[in-house]
Amino acid sequence: MSDDSSELVARVLTAIVSIPLLLGLIFWAPDWGFFGLVFAAVGVTVWEYCTITYGDEHLPGKIVAIALALGLATVLYWGPEYLLEALLVVIGATFLFFLFTFPDRDRVSHHIGSSVTAIVYGSLLLGVLGPLHAEEGPFWIVLTMVTTWMSDTGAYFVGRSFGDHPLYEEVSPNKSIEGSIGGLIGSVVGAAVCNWLFPVLGDWSPLAVGPLLLLAIPGNLLAQLGDLAESIIKRAHDVDDSGVIIYGHGGLLDRIDGLIFASPWFYICATHWV
């Protein structure tokens, strides 16, 4: 079996196992159950980001970054009116922690910067899925995930079949312009299918073509930029995968990098524009 076929089989097997569990948590779990999913994803995301950027140089720093990110994600979900105060405390606490625990003075600014970035990246950008679920309901979570991950699927198959022109070779040599277009088409198709199917499954008012495209096209572009953003961090630190937590996909961050960038867009659209 070729490497491409093995990778595809691994992805399919992972999907078969994970999708039913994910849908169960989205639709039927109590509020704390879905929050637990987001809580776990935030913790793993921060761990993987700090592992990429400063590895084992400061293990206590990674643990503190995770704890602060989880605290911030908790405030975002259960007490968003205190989010600004919590963010100020988290940033100040990060600086103070490294002020008194740095192992290498020449690297301390890197540790602080990486930790603060990981906290914001994981707890706010990704953590916004919690309020989206609580305020707008489970169908919005599914729409966000399908639109984002259909971008990956479209880019994968179109890029493998027709990808001849590099998209951004300095950052991600395997991505092509053709794959990027395929990803955009995949997102639009995925959003359209969700919009057609949701009214059959539950309480969902179909979106008109304009609002649907307003969601899908910028959401896709943000997802692709999120993928590239993680790629440049990994290339800067000569890392191939963010981890090994997901069979066939590497780390969790490798699988949800696009979702992290796209989720705030869907939250803003759901709560303000659509």
Q: Is 175 left (phi over 0), alpha (psi -120 to 50) or beta?
A: beta
pLDDT tens, residue by residue, 11-37: 666 667 778 888 999 999 888 899 999
Q: Per-residue pLDDT for 127 more than 70?
A: yes
Mean pLDDT along residues 121-149: 96
Q: Does residue 259 carry a pLDDT above 70? A: yes
pLDDT at 21: 87
Q: What was the pLDDT predicted at 229? A: 97
* Phi, psi angle pair for 246, to nearest 5°: -115, 120
Per residue in 165-202, pLDDT tens?
999 999 999 999 999 999 999 999 999 999 999 999 98
Give yes or no for residue 1 having a pLDDT over 60: no
More confident residue, 10 or 22: 22
Query: Of the segments 14-18, 224-228, 249-253, which one has the largest average pLDDT value?
Result: 224-228
What pLDDT, in 10s, does the model give residues 73-124? 999 999 999 999 999 999 999 999 999 999 889 999 999 999 999 999 999 9
pLDDT band (50, 70, 90) for residue 246: low
| Structure tokens belonging to residue 5 | 């076929």
pLDDT band of residue 52 (cuts 50, 70, 90) is very high
Q: Which pLDDT does position 7 carry in this prediction?
A: 59
3-state SS of the chain is CCHHHHHHHHHHHHHHHHHHHHHHHHHCCCHHHHHHHHHHHHHHHHHHHHHHHHCCCCHHHHHHHHHHHHHHHHHHHHCHHHHHHHHHHHHHHHHHHHHHHCCCHHHHHHHHHHHHHHHHHHHHHHCCHHHHHHHHCHHHHHHHHHHHHHHHHHHHHHHHHHCCCEEECCCEEEEEHHHHHHHHHHHHHHHHHHHHHHHHHCCCCCCCHHHHHHHHHHHHHHHHHHHHHHHHHHHHCCCCCCCCCECCCECHHHHHHHHHHHHHHHHHHHHHHC
Is 90:102 a contact under the CB 8 Å cutoff? no
More reliable by pLDDT, 93 or 246: 93
Find, among 224, 182, 191, the residue nearest to 210 by Cα: 191
Residue 90: per-residue pLDDT: 98
